[in-house]
Amino acid sequence: MSNEDELDIRSVHPSQRHPMIFEKFDNLAKGEKFVLINDHDPKPLYYQFQAERTGTFGWDYLESGPKTWRVQISRK
């Protein structure tokens, strides 16, 4: 997977993280995906995806801490 397919938000201000992630997701075509890299479990983001993008996304943990979380998010 190339760097273009990754979104590392560890250095992004918390207030900008979710809008940035949703913008990346909304620009995906069906079947496309990216890997989110974060410094904590993005479980609240998962719940936001469930509420706002119901049935349109896939969510697969690739790494689960303790310092880095990597989640593959795909567009269905």
Domain with 43 in it: what CATH number? 3.30.110.40
Distance CA 29, CA 74 (A): 9
**What is the chain's alpha carbon radius of gyration, rounded to the nearest angstrom?**
11
Name the band, by pLDDT with cuts 50, 70 and 90, for residue 3.
low
How many domains are there within the chain? 1
Give pLDDT, residue 53. Answer: 98
Domain range enclosing 34? 3-75
pTM comes to 0.93
| The CA-based dihedral angle spanning residues 20, 59, 52, 13, taken in that order and rounded to the nearest 10 degrees | -30
